[in-house]
Each structure stands twice: as C-alpha cells, then as structure tokens.
Structure 1
Amino acid sequence: MKNRILYCLAAASLALSFFFEQAPAPTALGSPVAAEASLLPDFLSTDPVEGPSTRASYRDSIQYSQYAQALGVKLEYTENKDLLRTVTDWLGTPYHYGSNSKRGTDCSGFVTRVFKEVYGITLQRSSRSMFENVQRVAKDAMQPGDLVFFRRGPGQPIYHVGIYLTNGKFAHSATNGGVMVSSLHQAYYQRNFYAAGRVAHN
C-alpha cells in the first residue's frame, strides 16, 4: 500500500514537471498563455447563445456598416456584399472616355467591369447596347444591381448608365468627378432619368 502511494506521488510529480517545462515563459508584452487563451473563444466557444453564426453575423454587420458609410447609403443588410465591396473599391476612379480600368473609366466601362467582377457577366460595351439587352423594371421596383439609364429629353439617345444601389442612390462614372454615388432625386438625374433595367443572371 505504501509503495502504491509513493508510485502515485512520483507520477504526479513527473506530470507537473513536464507541464511547467512545456509552458512558455511570460514576455514583456504579457503572458503568451493568456494571449493564446484569448483567441480560443473565436474557435471553441462553448456558449450555446454565441456560436459561429452569431460571430459571422457580427462580421457581416461591420462590413455592411463600412460599405454604408463609404457609399453614403442606408442599407438593409441584405444587399449583395460583393456588389457593395466592388463599387466601394472603384470609388474615386477618374473619368476617362473609352476606358474601363482603375486608372480611368467611362460610365459603361465602369458598369461592365463591376458586372464581370461581381456576377461573372460580360455586358455590351455601350449604354445603348446594354439597354437593348435588359428586362425593363419600374422605377419603384428597382433592386440593387439593376441598371439605370439616362437621356437628355424625349427622342434623344441614351447617353449614361449607372448601377442602382438602394434608396434612390446609384453608382456611376460621371464626367465631372469619376466614379461616385449620386441620387436619382437630384434635379439633374431626376430630369434625365429614362428607365431602369435588370440583367438576367444565369
């Protein structure tokens, strides 16, 4: 019996010495053990209330808030994040007629690049050709990603195109400022708005 107790004590002592040898020493910035432990809840949360879906929703909320601030729009938090991110990345690109790069782009060039990046869809290069290949939608039924077309009065050709975002706001490349977000309620765009169209997504 006495020998059995001694064996147990020796085993416990060996286990404790192994643990302390393996534990990393504290650093000047704090204990690495504590720092490592602080990361564990992100992956090993035992809280039944806060699981991976809750953390994902939190990250989504932060991203939507960033896009809303950058684009100056009020979001429902259900919009296509790839669309919002891509448009945000293009903001401030200067206007350059006939081009479609981040060094400079015109309105239809901007739209074609966004649709290729977000949806993998290759659109026609001109705003007029785009209009001929969309499904017309009512102005009050527009959804994020629909195209908005403009012309300077009845009988005039379409001269401008943009991508509808939400709440009357659309993204486009304007001659007087490059890629930006504008409102359909602005007098100029309200006067020249012609139609909205939806691109078929395969």
Structure 2
Amino acid sequence: MKFSWIVFLLVPLGILSGCVGLTPKPIFTSTSEAEKHKSVASSQLQQEKIVGNLASKGRKTTIGLPLKEREKIMQQVEKYLGVPYRWGGMSNNGIDCSGFVVVVFRDALGVLLPHSTSKLYSLGETVTPQDLGFGDLVFFRDVGRRQLLHVGIFLGGARFAHASTSKGVTISSLQDDYYRTRFLGARRILNAIRNKH
C-alpha cells in the first residue's frame, strides 16, 4: 500500500517538472565523442563571433545577445558537457534539463531562473523557429501531445545544448527527426527578465 502512494505522488511530480519521458537518441559513445562535441561547441562560438562582427557592422542577425554574454554561456555549456543526467540535479555530479538551463544562466550571467521546465516555458516571449537566436530556450513535448517534457539552450546553426536523459549534457540538432517531431516551441527569456529590473 505504501508503494502505491509513493508512485501516486511521484508520477505527477515528474510530469510537472519536465525532463521525464524523453529518451533522446545517444550523442556520445565515448570520451573522445565528448571531446569532439566540445570542439564543435568552440567552432560554433567562432561562427557566432563572425556573425556578431557582421552585426556590429550594421548587418541584420538574429543572435540578440552581446558577444561577451554568448562567450560566457558557451563556457558554461562546455563546462557541463558530458555531465550525467540526474533528475532534480544541478551540479557536476548530475543535472537535469531545467537544472542545466538554471546553472548555465546563473553562472554565466547571474540570471536566476526557476528549476522547472513548465515555469521556464511561461517566461519571456515566443520566438518562431526562423527567428531563433543564441541563448533562446527550446522546448520539446511528447509526440502527438502538448505535454511539456524537455528544455535546452539554442546555440545557433540548428544546434542546442541540453541534459539528455540517456547521455547527460550534450549538443544536439533541431533537425534530427527525434527532436524535430517533438519540438514544441521557443522562448526568449533574457529580454523579459532584464526589462523587469
């Protein structure tokens, strides 16, 4: 009887907090794969610097964040690459998807965010896929339902960083069938948070 009450209480809690139910396809198969993704992340930042330079010369981009902030976010993303998934976690010992978003923005920019996928989804403004910019949050659902299950940080070039339940913190592509079919939407949170202060 006690067991059924525990299950009854934990299942709704897991559903409300997000990061459960999605089993992303594996990205890392070894330490060398993790290192390869760190190098991909670094080259992504180099591309962002080039685009940032174009923006400073008056050309339109969708990045939105200053170069220094993008660099700080990328440093935090790289710091956590390969950290294992742990539901409710927010450290190098283990981290979940919303916890990853929280620690990256807290440690990179001093921005405090809620440790809840659904609460993160209620922040900021909606961003269309065509207007995604570095640092926007991308959200995923269960196939065929609108139930919110997962969140990541958009890095540009259709890539996003997130804490995968199967492989820990990794970088994936929004163009992968797995994520494309589960994509729910995106939110730009930093502008809204800064406008409140």
- TM-score bracket relative to the smaller structure: 0.5 to 0.7
Structure 1 regions of 5+ residues with no counterpart? 1-65
State which structure, 1 or 2, has the greater radius of gyration over its C-alpha atoms: 1
User: CA contact under 8 A between 1:170 and 1:181: conserved in structure 2?
Assistant: yes
Counterpart of 2:39 in structure 1: which amino acid? Q
Counterpart of 1:76 in structure 2: which amino acid? E
Q: How far apart in 1 are the matches of 2:116 and 2:110?
A: 18
In the alignment, what sits opposite 2:118?
A: 128
Q: How far apart in 1 are the matches of 2:96 and 2:145?
A: 23
In the alignment, what sits opposite 2:86?
A: 96
User: 2:66 aligned with 1:76, yes or no?
Assistant: no
In the alignment, what sits opposite 2:56?
A: none
In the alignment, what sits opposite 2:175?
A: 185
User: 2:96 aligned with 1:106, yes or no?
Assistant: yes
User: CA contact under 8 A between 2:141 and 2:182: conserved in structure 1?
Assistant: yes
TM-score for the superposition, normalised by structure 1: 0.63
Give the drift of 1:125.
1.1
Q: How far apart in 1 are the matches of 2:127 and 2:171?
A: 21
Counterpart of 1:172 in structure 2: which amino acid? H
User: CA contact under 8 A between 2:37 and 2:171: conserved in structure 1?
Assistant: no
Counterpart of 2:171 in structure 1: which amino acid? V
User: CA contact under 8 A between 1:73 and 1:166: conserved in structure 2?
Assistant: no
Alignment of 1:49-64 (within 5 A): none
Spell out, residue by residue over 1:31-90, the C-alpha distance to the aligned partner (whole angstroms, 9 max, x if none): xxxxxxxxxxxxxxxxxxxxxxxxxxxxxxxxxxx9972427542313411111111111
Q: How far apart in 1 are the matches of 2:91 and 2:174?
A: 25
Q: How far apart in 1 are the matches of 2:120 and 2:86?
A: 19
Q: Greater relative contact order (Cα 8 A, min sep 6): structure 1 or 2?
A: 2
Q: Flag the 1:73–1:170 CA change in 2: closer, same or farther, 3 A.
A: farther
Counterpart of 1:71 in structure 2: which amino acid? A
Aligned to 2:48, the other structure's residue is in SS state coil
In the alignment, what sits opposite 1:159?
A: 149
Q: How far apart in 2 are the matches of 1:95 and 1:67?
A: 17
Q: How far apart in 1 are the matches of 2:37 and 2:173?
A: 16
Give the drift of 1:146.
0.3
Structure 2 regions of 5+ residues with no counterpart? 1-35, 53-66
Aligned to 2:146, the other structure's residue is in SS state coil
Q: How far apart in 2 are the matches of 1:158 and 1:72?
A: 30
Give the drift of 1:156.
3.0
Q: Flag the 1:68–1:91 CA change in 2: closer, same or farther, 3 A.
A: closer
Root-mean-square deviation over aligned CA pairs: 2.0
User: CA contact under 8 A between 1:73 and 1:169: conserved in structure 2?
Assistant: no
- Would you say how many aligned residue pairs link Structure 1 and Structure 2? 137
Q: How far apart in 1 are the matches of 2:175 and 2:107?
A: 28
